[in-house]
Amino acid sequence: MNIAMLASEALPLSKTGGLADVVYALSKELAKDPKNEVIIFTPNYRNAKINAFPRLKDLGEIAVDLSWRHLHAHLWEAKLGRLRYILIGNSYYFDRPSLYGYHDDCERFAFFGNACLAALRFLKFAPDILHVHDWQVGMVPCLLKEKDEYKNDPLFAHTKTVLTIHNPAFKGFIDRYFLADFWGLPDSLYDNGQVRFDNMVSTLKAGIVYADKITTVSPTHRNELLSPYSDQHLNGVLELRKDDFQGILNGIDEEEWNPAHDAYLAKTYTAKTWKEGKETNQQQLLSTFSLTKGKGPIYAMVSRLSWQKGVDLLLEAAPQFVGPNVEGTILILGSGEYALERRVQALRDAYPSRVGVYLGYQNALSHLIYAGADFFLMPSLFEPCGISQMIAQRYGTLPIVRYTGGLRDTVEGYDGDPNQYADGIGFRDYDLGGLTYGMSKANELYHQPEEYARIVGNALRKDNSWKKSAAAYLRLYHEALGKEE
């Protein structure tokens, strides 16, 4: 099967969050089967880590139209094992310091989507499945179904499209004017409601309406999105597509995230040697932050500092856990919203001997934190799936999660019953009481070495690999194509 993945970020080139992990790891798993040809199409950003590829092939320039704008994309091809990448370059749109956050993001990714279709034609790669991820490429299924130039192109005659919603909070809002101005699409698509959402065009909604199949990244988040109480307000349109809408849980890349072979660790370890292994990494981690440990555990967070992630709750709860009762340590690695960055720094300044903060994106440090911390904090307001809690489990660092979305599907919370299976800690309410419950439960468990070791053992042995999930995507692809596997 020919599979084209279209995504605004993908490892090892670029990453701001879990989308990059998923696009890479899912594609790699699918490409293991020689029956599948998988190509990832992704922008060639200024800071793209092109050195990760042994060889890059210059494919030259192709023409890309954005309605009246006659533009060019520079294509590069790279390979990692059986997986192919096509990097889409355009210095005006992508030679910038960050991936996102520009006033013209909609135009940048409209260009990217159109360039992907032009690149498929240039490569003469006829995709059976064209799998688009999030709002950035949400318009592509609509282009294939609405524009004559694609409808009549034999290259796409058998193509079925799949949209995966990783983050429904980003809807790709843009004024109706740009339907024609970017994509040459008629205004009627706005007037008849197909691409309209809250009196704007939403590229994410367009994807939901036009894709042949839709997924989100966990079964629980699927149900949340379909609920009339969902604050994402996509339940109306998703209800219409319910039969074609699935929740497929993310996995983690068990090669990248493996404490037994992790080059970033001070000491590697397995489910048998975790005590010594984690201890050595913990010492290294504490010295990196110039901290010493109190009698309580190390609670860590590695995250985009976004309103989605429950950072505000942590800021509220922190004083009780770094104070004399618990004497815990809190480590935060992250970057994001300005106000949250400042508040996190203020917490560190108020408790300099108990709180460590690193503002920025640091892959190597994240590995050391996953290995050296005792508990991993994910008190998210909403979380379509979450990758970090699964990585933490793999390193024997128990996640403390709010039961929402994929956190509900991946963590069985410990609640004090010695006969119960558990591989983390969970709480329900998004409030101070909820997180206080979770962090206190963690502290209690930490001081009961045998119980603690039992739960850590469960986490370490948990199978969060991509195998099952990639098989579920493949089944969905076959369903879209109307074929038996």
Residues of this chain that interact with ligand ADP (CB under 6 A) are 17-19, 21, 302-304, 333-335, 361-363, 366, 386-388
Identify the residue among 10, 17, 238, 331 touching ligand GLC (CB under 6 A). Answer: 17
Residue 114 site contact among ligand GLC, ligand ADP, none (CB < 5 to 8 Å, cut-off depends on kind): none
Nearer to ligand ADP, 366 or 458 (CB): 366
Contact 72, 90 (CB under 8 A): yes
Residue 217 site contact among ligand GLC, ligand ADP, none (CB < 5 to 8 Å, cut-off depends on kind): ligand GLC
Nearer to ligand GLC, 162 or 179 (CB): 162
Residue 361 site contact among ligand ADP, ligand GLC, none (CB < 5 to 8 Å, cut-off depends on kind): ligand ADP
Identify the residue among 88, 117, 217, 265 touching ligand GLC (CB under 6 A). Answer: 217
Identify the residue among 43, 356, 384, 426 touching ligand GLC (CB under 6 A). Answer: 384
435 binds ligand GLC (CB under 6 A): no
Nearer to ligand GLC, 24 or 321 (CB): 24
Nearer to ligand ADP, 194 or 397 (CB): 397
Contact 248, 469 (CB under 8 A): yes
Chain residue at closest Cβ approach to ligand ADP? 18
Least distance in Å: CB of 250 to ligand GLC? 5
Nearer to ligand ADP, 139 or 332 (CB): 332
Binding window for ligand GLC (CB under 6 A); candidates: 93-101, 267-275, 356-364, 383-391: 383-391
Mark 236-275 with x for binding to ligand GLC (rule: CB under 6 A) and - for no binding.
--------------x-------------------------
166 binds ligand GLC (CB under 6 A): yes
Packed helices 274-288 and 363-372: angle between N→C axes, nearest 10 degrees: 130
Chain residue at closest Cβ approach to ligand GLC? 18
Identify the residue among 14, 18, 281, 379 touching ligand GLC (CB under 6 A). Answer: 18
And the tokens for 420? 């119960």
Least distance in Å: CB of 424 to ligand ADP? 14
Residue 305 site contact among ligand ADP, ligand GLC, none (CB < 5 to 8 Å, cut-off depends on kind): none
138 binds ligand GLC (CB under 6 A): no
Alpha-carbon distance of 73 to 115, in angstroms, equals 7
Contact 13, 46 (CB under 8 A): no
Residue 318 site contact among ligand GLC, ligand ADP, none (CB < 5 to 8 Å, cut-off depends on kind): none
Assign 3-class secondary structure to 54-108.
Answer: CCEEEEEEEEEEECCEEEEEEEEEEEECCEEEEEEECHHHHCCCCCCCCCCHHHH
Identify the residue among 9, 29, 341, 383 touching ligand GLC (CB under 6 A). Answer: 383
Residue 438 site contact among ligand GLC, ligand ADP, none (CB < 5 to 8 Å, cut-off depends on kind): none
Nearer to ligand GLC, 7 or 87 (CB): 7
Nearer to ligand GLC, 19 or 189 (CB): 19
386 binds ligand GLC (CB under 6 A): yes
On the CB side of 470, CA atoms within 13 Å amount to 22
Nearer to ligand GLC, 159 or 167 (CB): 167
Alpha-carbon distance of 308 to 169, in angstroms, equals 9
Nearer to ligand ADP, 20 or 118 (CB): 20
Nearer to ligand GLC, 22 or 106 (CB): 22
Assign 3-class secondary structure to the chain.
Answer: CEEEEECCCCCCCCCCCHHHHHHHHHHHHHHCCCCCEEEEEEECCCCCCHHHCCCEEEEEEEEEEECCEEEEEEEEEEEECCEEEEEEECHHHHCCCCCCCCCCHHHHHHHHHHHHHHHHHHHCCCCCEEEEECHHHCCHHHHHHHCHHHHCCHHHCCCEEEEEECCCCCCCEECCHHHHHHHCCCCHHHHCCCCEECCEEEHHHHHHHHCCEEEECCHHHHHHHHCCCCCCCCHHHHHHCHHHEEECCCCCCCCCCCCCCCCCCCCCCCCCCHHHHHHHHHHHHHHHCCCCCCCCCEEEEEEEECHHHCHHHHHHHHHHHHCCCCCCEEEEEEEECHHHHHHHHHHHHHCCCCEEEEECCCHHHHHHHHHHCCEEEECCCCCCCCCHHHHHHHCCCEEEEECCHHHHHHCCECCCCCCCCCCEEEECCCCHHHHHHHHHHHHHHHCCHHHHHHHHHHHHHCCCCCHHHHHHHHHHHHHHHCCCC
Identify the residue among 4, 6, 22, 106 touching ligand GLC (CB under 6 A). Answer: 22
Nearer to ligand ADP, 14 or 388 (CB): 388
Residue 366 site contact among ligand ADP, ligand GLC, none (CB < 5 to 8 Å, cut-off depends on kind): ligand ADP
Least distance in Å: CB of 473 to ligand ADP? 17
Residues that bind ligand GLC (CB under 6 A): 17-19, 22, 166-167, 217, 250, 383-387, 406
